[in-house]
């Protein structure tokens, strides 16, 4: 089954295909993302700034459309929604007056905004899921991992980066440990320890306090309201269903 979170239509097609399968979903890991270093601003097919559309909008739509199957799993055990974020959210702001970053843009500005948005939506979802505590919503920083994040940079820079940074960065196998813990660790070891951090875990699998901006209930609500309007979702997230 193909899924491209940079395209809302692709997300909807995936959800429609899953509906035909109908299996419960125990864990939904929102990991796919981009960091377009060294390239000009671009947009998704839906017209969103590329980082916002790929790292945030597509994932939120996916969660909303697959919620019935998370609820099915939660009838028998806990179900988990996980957003793989980044500590770079700490340098980010949600630019409500220019979410598309059309007036001022840099790759870091866009990436950090999208990662902060993930933490804010997790904060909001944790509040929404209080009515169904068996749905556990978490975000995490995987650590500094040697991946293809520099693929948009010139090839000589990519080679130099890998040559040098392999001695300092985590391998992908090491970098997935916090994600695996969030997905499979004992809920009693995770909750309520992450309550004070808004569901945020560090790369060492321990609760980690996010930035002050990520703790704003007002910003979480404002972003959520905007997101629902953009995605044409019901104002009550838990009422959203695949049509």
Cα distances from 122 to residues 5, 29, 148, 204, in angstroms, run 18, 12, 26, 19
| DSSP-derived 3-state class of residue 81 | strand
111 classed as catalytic: yes
Q: How many CB atoms lie within 10 A of CB 33?
A: 22
Q: Which entry of 69, 111, 161, 200 is annotated as an active-site residue?
A: 111
For residues 106 and 50, the answer to whether their CB atoms sit within 8 Å is no
| H or E segment and range at residue 119 | helix 107-128
For residues 210 and 54, the answer to whether their CB atoms sit within 8 Å is no
| DSSP-derived 3-state class of residue 214 | helix
d(CA 151, CA 123): 31
| DSSP-derived 3-state class of residue 49 | strand
Please provide the distance, in angstroms rounded to a whole number, between the alpha carbons at the two ends of the chain: 19
Environment class of 52 (CB within 10 Å of its CB; exposed 0-12, middle 13-18, buried 19+)? buried
User: If you search the block for the tokens 């995770």, which residue do you land on?
Assistant: 190
Distance of CA 169 to the CA centre of its chain: 22
Active site members: 111
């Amino acid at each position: 089954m193909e899924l491209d979170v940079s395209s809302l239509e692709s997300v909807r097609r995936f959800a429609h295909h899953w509906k035909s399968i109908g299996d419960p979903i125990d864990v939904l890991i929102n990991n796919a993302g981009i960091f377009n270093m060294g390239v000009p601003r671009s947009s998704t097919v839906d017209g969103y700034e590329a980082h916002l559309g790929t790292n945030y909008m597509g994932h939120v739509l996916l969660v909303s459309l697959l919620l019935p199957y998370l609820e099915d799993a939660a009838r028998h055990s806990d179900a988990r929604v996980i957003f793989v974020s980044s500590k770079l959210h700490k340098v980010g702001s949600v630019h409500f007056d220019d979410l598309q970053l059309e007036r001022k843009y840099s790759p870091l500005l866009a990436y950090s905004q999208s990662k902060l948005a993930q933490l804010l939506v997790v904060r909001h979802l944790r509040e929404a899921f209080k009515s169904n505590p068996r749905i556990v919503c978490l975000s995490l920083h995987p650590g500094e991992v040697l991946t293809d994040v520099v693929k948009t940079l010139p090839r000589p820079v990519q080679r130099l980066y890998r040559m040098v940074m392999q001695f300092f960065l985590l391998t992908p196998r090491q970098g997935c440990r916090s994600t695996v813990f969030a997905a499979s660790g004992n809920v009693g070891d995770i909750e309520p320890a992450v309550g004070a951090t808004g569901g945020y875990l560090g790369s060492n699998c321990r609760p980690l306090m996010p930035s002050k901006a990520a703790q704003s209930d007002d910003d979480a609500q404002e972003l959520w309201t905007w997101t629902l309007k953009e995605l044409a979702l019901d104002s009550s997230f838990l009422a959203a269903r695949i049509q």
